[in-house]
Structure 1
């Protein structure tokens, strides 16, 4: 697909003005081709690309909700989503109730007469929990709710939520693009809803530029190949970390020990996805020391790229929640999130092995305080 780097388009007045006209309403050949590709992958009537994942989330919720409405939203969402729902929508008169997305028995108590939307993440950020998607869909249909899912972590390779009636959102910055070189979002669903979301995008200006559309369409071509390698390596790394004496806990639904393992097996074709999180013994100082000792993963925010990225959510994706907010969400200050890239699986495991050796004192006691002076540069 070539790049149509134009802001405006001429027309002949022969009745074809609706084809392309002006780029801000996402009306360029690049936008149209990319939207068709995403709709095809997701199995939806229509799709829309946006300037960021947050543009996709905010425009979708603003299209579905009005002052006086209420939404049900899962606990432990992405930090930007938390900020939007609890700090931006609330002053507009849109209230919300938090629920456990894997506990259907608790949802009815959150239901109100003015509830309009049930919002979940198929795999949550950063605790890597799994929503009971089939139960969410059934509950939403029973109570006439629009059910919306952020499917960024699972990707359409592992899960196509539209088959369950979900409106599907992605931070396309992540796995869909896969090369860490654009910021983008996507929404896929029924054509009438996508038209409403597009109206919000046009008004608020969150439209992707044609060059970024070109790059995102390039990324889609290798999506399945990348995700297969990333998920295979993530499972191998999760098993390695689970058995390592310096690791306190691992959050990864592909592990048989995970409380979400059964759900993941049924939803994600037996995979747990390409992202995991874990706790090392010794707290924040040891977590920082481990990150510094690693050679392959880059210490950086974001995820889903061809390179492995590692970060502490307390300092990046969930920093805005504050200590109390993170504690309430179950996110410790020392939690480490790893987005696995497409490097060799054995190379990644070897790198983690040497990093643990580098931060472990000779006597093997990681809790003796010997590493407390190590800080990230």
Structure 2
């Protein structure tokens, strides 16, 4: 059966599973060996080569979900993105990077690239003209993130992919916030897709992993670098990730539904000054998001009105967790200025619009009315406490 014709829930459940030929179990067996026979075998397996049975088969699932020929699993999202960049950039090369970007990626570029003699330019905006203006004769890669972390800006995937292709430049994207359920950048011409698999692919806040998916040619190049850098993942974690991904589409669709409702609720709330969510018609890129996304995702950000302290508000939450990371089945909130973008300076955060009052909201699968009630009581409690 062609995986191209399978529905997304079927892909999540069955593509990339390892058949238990010996005992006929319903789930993939775990292969924990770090040493495999090398003579008279089709594949010389070694964990650091990303080709143990569990690694190999999970990569098939991710490739199927992202409509690519191949994929690889890494020890973290940062391992995935750093290996991806270093596979296509060398001394003297240049990369154009979207300015509205995950703080860890920005920090990696700023702190590490000069050691390799790699030049970089952060765009002034996220329109295609901003990327075109930043291109230099030695530009080899253009990297985007959409929806972006944490302001949910939307970049025109096809326009950037077309621009890169016309210049002979590799295009890459961080697709973490959308997940393969909501967005498939390869269909719009992007060359390479990466994920922090810690987030939606794992979905239960108990797995640290990353993933990259692309053509076999590009993945061979990434593998050639990665085998030397050693960012592979333990097979126990790989097995847990494959198990978690069986419910990926179900989880994300439930989270999407909650996020749409909560965004509208917050947008209409008198104590909320601004909401960032591409599913709102007031979002400046709403039409673009609608054109390139299957749904608008389960991430949003908002700012409370002046006078309501964001940190004090989060301390009053009873159901929603004040917690790092995102995309688990449980709803969480955090201040990007204190967490995901804390490595950036205040000036750098201000330049991309990340205020100290900005709250990032990762919407889970709880009942909408319970999440709404928790937000309402926390706002009320914060206001009362400020008057005491």
* TM-score tier (shorter): over 0.9
1:173-198, CA deviations, whole angstroms, 9 ceiling, x for partnerless residues?
00011011110000000112111212
Q: Equivalent residue for 2:373?
A: 350
* Residues 303 and 262 of structure 1: CA distance in aligned 2, closer, same or farther (over 3 Å): same
Check whether the contact 2:330–2:364 (CA below 8 A) recurs between aligned residues. yes
**Is residue 9 of structure 1 aligned with residue 36 of structure 2?**
yes
Measure how far apart 1:100 and its partner are: 5.1
Alignment equivalent of 1:186, drawn from 192, 207, 211: 211
Output the CA distance in 1 between the equivalents of 2:369 and 2:309.
23
| Structure 2 counterpart of 1:282 | 306
5+ unaligned residues in a row in structure 1: which ranges?
A: 363-368, 372-377
SS state at 1:208 partner = coil
List runs of 5+ in structure 2 lacking aligned partners: 1-27
| 1:170 maps to 2:201 | no
Q: What residue number does 1:338 align with?
A: 361
Asked if the contact 1:313/1:319 (under 8 Å) is kept, the reply is: yes
Give how far 1:257 is off: 0.6
Match of 2:102? 78
1-side partners of 2:83 and 2:142: how far apart?
16
State which of 348, 351, 355 in structure 2 corresponds to 1:328: 351
| Residue in 2 that maps onto 1:122 | 146
Alignment equivalent of 1:239, drawn from 240, 243, 264: 264
Q: For the residues of structure 1 that align with 2:55 and 2:270, how far apart are their CA atoms? A: 50
Match of 1:67 among 87, 91, 99: 91
Residue 105 of structure 1 and its aligned partner are, at CA, apart by 2.5
Question: d(CA) in 2 for partners of 1:250 and 1:71?
Answer: 31
Aligned to 1:133: 157
Q: What is the aligned partner in structure 2 of residue 249 from structure 1?
A: 274
TM-score normalised over the length of structure 1:
0.92
Cα distance in 2 for residues equivalent to 1:294 and 1:94: 44
1:211 aligned residue (212, 225, 236): 236
Looking at structure 2, the residues matched to 201 and 296 of structure 1 have their Cα atoms a distance apart, in angstroms, of 41
**Kept after mapping to 1: 8 A contact 2:162/2:189:** no
Decide whether the 8 Å contact of 2:329 with 2:364 is kept in 1.
yes
Q: Does 1:318 align with 2:341?
A: yes
C-alpha offsets along residues 90-122 of structure 1, whole Å, 9 cap, x if unaligned?
A: 231111112256422233221111111110012
Aligned partner of 1:272 among 296, 309, 316: 296
What is the TM-score when the length of structure 2 is the normalising length?
A: 0.90
- 1:354-373 equivalences under 5 Å are 354-361=377-384, 370=387
CA contact (8 A) 2:146 2:152 kept: no
| Corresponding residue SS for 1:214 | helix
Q: Secondary structure at the match of 2:303?
A: strand
Name the SS for the 2:47 alignment partner.
coil
Superimposed CA distance per residue, residues 235-268 of structure 1 (whole angstroms, 9 cap, x where no aligned partner): 1111111111111111111001111211111111
SS in 2 for 1:279: strand
Write out the 4+ residue segments of structure 1 that deviate beyond 6 Å after TM superposition.
Answer: none
Q: Contact 2:98/2:126 (CA < 8 Å) preserved in 1?
A: no
Give the whole-Å Cα distance in 2 for the aligned partners of 1:26 and 1:287: 43
